[in-house]
Amino acid sequence: MKLTDRVENEIVVLEPKGKIMGGPDASLLNDKIHEYIENNRKKVVIDLAKVEWMNSTGLGILISGYTRLRNHEGVLKLANVTDKIQSLLTITKLVTVFETFDSVDEAIKSFKK
């Protein structure tokens, strides 16, 4: 898995690419989320357009970021959730936890409401 990240108008956008299945690559995403939280960033969007699939380790990373941000009065949102990941969010009921958007732009705009 590869990871690119940027900050757009104080909103962190993370773009993992590949499969999130565990191992050292998964740690990369987890560590980056937590690094931004440590640097006091409170708004994070994870763009999942280029994630082929993830397993429960990937879901755990999303949950970890979500809860840690929430504990710091921040918010994590998901954009471009693929059908495969959407089905995993549904069967695990995590669809009731995460806000999802059809594009990064929509996710970013939602922070201004």
Partner 1 sequence: MQKPQISGNRISIPSNQEFLSDVDMFIEGILRGYGADESIIADIAISVSELVNNAIAHGNAQNDSKKVIVEIGKNTDVVTISVIDEGVGFNPNTLADPLAEENLLKEVGRGIFIVKSLMDSVDIKPSPHGTKIIMTKSIK
Q: Where does this chain bind partner 1 (CB under 8 A)?
A: 19, 21-25, 52-57, 59-61, 63-64, 66-67, 84, 88, 91-94, 96-97
Cβ-based nearer residue to partner 1, 66 or 101: 66
Which of 77, 74, 68, 82 lies closest to 34 in space, CA to CA? 68
Cβ-based nearer residue to partner 1, 26 or 104: 26
CA distance 78 to 104: 8
Cβ 69 vs Cβ 62: under 8 Å: no
CB of 37 to partner 1, least distance (A): 15
Cβ-based nearer residue to partner 1, 5 or 25: 25
CB of 70 to partner 1, least distance (A): 9
Cβ-based nearer residue to partner 1, 5 or 94: 94
Mark 33-45 as b/e (b = at least 16 C-beta within 10 Å): beebbeeebbbbb
Place of tokens 């954009």: 79
